[in-house]
């Protein structure tokens, strides 16, 4: 039997969330007057630093607020390993206490990635994020998509969980589900629209198609095809609305 020729693996897809954040940091740098220093990022529910450490490596001053001491210990160690410990401040607190722990600091970019799925009151959490954002700064929300979670359960053969998740108003598969909620695009958008201090700027899907391409695809396309496809799908409903996570950007009013 002749061995199949090795095909190149599927190239990594563009990360539409990171691309949006890096664009925003460039804009924040431009907004800052000379001598004002690096942009300030506040990462609420930042956990072990998946976003915070790369943003600090980009030169930002990053404050991470998280309720978990363990996650913050991992964050400190990752920041040390990456050589950015002096640019990462870790504060243990609940989002409810954001104003107190951050001492009224207003950040250029405020992240709530993977946070709204866990908080008791998502409306109050979005209000706290908005209040911690500098005038004209940006809030970035990344939330688990209930429809993508249903599809993922079905393809892995967990049909009962998928049915319960789809029927449940909070998108949970049962009382033991670790997430308090999953959302759809309309729900995340409505959360932002009801916060007076914010103006909705962008709604996009994070990882719409890239995870569906087999590792050795018969037609992986030209270099850049998957990245372009992913970027296009990220803003094209209904594909956008099936992404594994929903990404919403909202601008803080100028005050």
- In the complex, the smallest distance separating the C-beta of residue 165 from ligand SAM, rounded to whole angstroms, is 17
**Among the candidate windows 24-32, 67-75, 155-163, 213-221, which touches ligand SAM by CB under 6 A?**
67-75
- 225-234 vs 16-31: helix crossing angle, rounded to 10: 80
> According to the binding rule CB under 6 A, does residue 122 interact with ligand SAM?
no
Decide whether 62 or 115 has the Cβ nearer to ligand SAM.
Answer: 115
> According to the binding rule CB under 6 A, does residue 114 interact with ligand SAM?
yes
> According to the binding rule CB under 6 A, does residue 45 interact with ligand SAM?
yes
Decide whether 203 or 229 has the Cβ nearer to ligand SAM.
Answer: 203
Closest CA to 39 of 101, 92, 104, 87: 87
Q: Is residue 241 within 8 Å of residue 145, measured between CB atoms?
A: yes
> According to the binding rule CB under 6 A, does residue 115 interact with ligand SAM?
yes
Q: Where are the beta strands (DSSP E) in the chain?
A: 40-44, 61-66, 88-92, 107-113, 133-144, 198-206, 245-252
- CA geometry: angle 30, 234, 61, nearest 5 deg: 35
- In the complex, the smallest distance separating the C-beta of residue 225 from ligand SAM, rounded to whole angstroms, is 27
Rg (CA), the chain: 19
**Among the candidate windows 9-17, 60-68, 168-176, 181-189, which touches ligand SAM by CB under 6 A?**
60-68
Decide whether 46 or 137 has the Cβ nearer to ligand SAM.
Answer: 46
Q: Is residue 143 within 8 Å of residue 246, measured between CB atoms?
A: yes
- 146-155 vs 159-167: helix crossing angle, rounded to 10: 160
- Which residue of 78, 113, 207, 240 would you call a contact of ligand SAM, by CB under 6 A? 113
> According to the binding rule CB under 6 A, does residue 46 interact with ligand SAM?
yes
- Which residue of 15, 94, 168, 184 would you call a contact of ligand SAM, by CB under 6 A? 94
Q: Is residue 42 within 8 Å of residue 66, measured between CB atoms?
A: no
**Among the candidate windows 45-53, 127-135, 160-168, 215-223, which touches ligand SAM by CB under 6 A?**
45-53
> According to the binding rule CB under 6 A, does residue 95 interact with ligand SAM?
yes
159, burial (CB in 10 Å: exposed 0-12, middle 13-18, buried 19+): exposed
Binding site for ligand SAM (CB under 6 A): 45-47, 50-51, 66-68, 71, 94-95, 113-115, 118-119
């Amino acid at each position: 039997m002749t061995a199949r020729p090795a095909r190149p693996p599927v190239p990594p897809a563009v990360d539409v969330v990171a691309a949006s954040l890096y664009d925003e940091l460039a804009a924040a740098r431009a907004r800052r007057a000379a001598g004002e220093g690096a942009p300030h990022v506040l990462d609420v529910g930042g956990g072990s630093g998946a976003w915070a450490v790369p943003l600090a490596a980009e030169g930002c001053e990053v404050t991470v607020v998280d309720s978990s001491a363990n996650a913050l210990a991992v964050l400190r160690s990752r920041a040390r390993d990456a050589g950015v410990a002096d640019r990462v401040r870790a504060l243990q607190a609940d989002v409810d206490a954001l104003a107190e722990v951050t001492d009224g600091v207003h950040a250029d970019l405020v992240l709530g990635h993977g946070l709204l799925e866990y908080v008791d009151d998502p409306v109050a959490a979005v209000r706290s994020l908005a209040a911690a954002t500098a005038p004209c700064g940006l809030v970035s929300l990344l939330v688990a998509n209930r429809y993508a979670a249903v599809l993922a359960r079905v393809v892995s053969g967990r049909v009962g969980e998928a049915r319960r998740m789809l029927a449940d108003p909070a998108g949970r598969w049962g009382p033991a589900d670790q997430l308090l909620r999953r959302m759809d695009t309309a729900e995340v958008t409505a959360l932002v629209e009801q916060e007076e201090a914010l103006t909705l700027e962008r709604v996009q899907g994070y990882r719409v198609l890239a995870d569906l391409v087999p590792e050795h695809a018969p037609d992986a396309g030209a270099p850049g095809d998957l990245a372009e496809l992913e970027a296009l799908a990220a803003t094209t409903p209904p594909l956008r609305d099936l992404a594994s996570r929903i990404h919403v950007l909202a601008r803080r009013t100028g005050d």
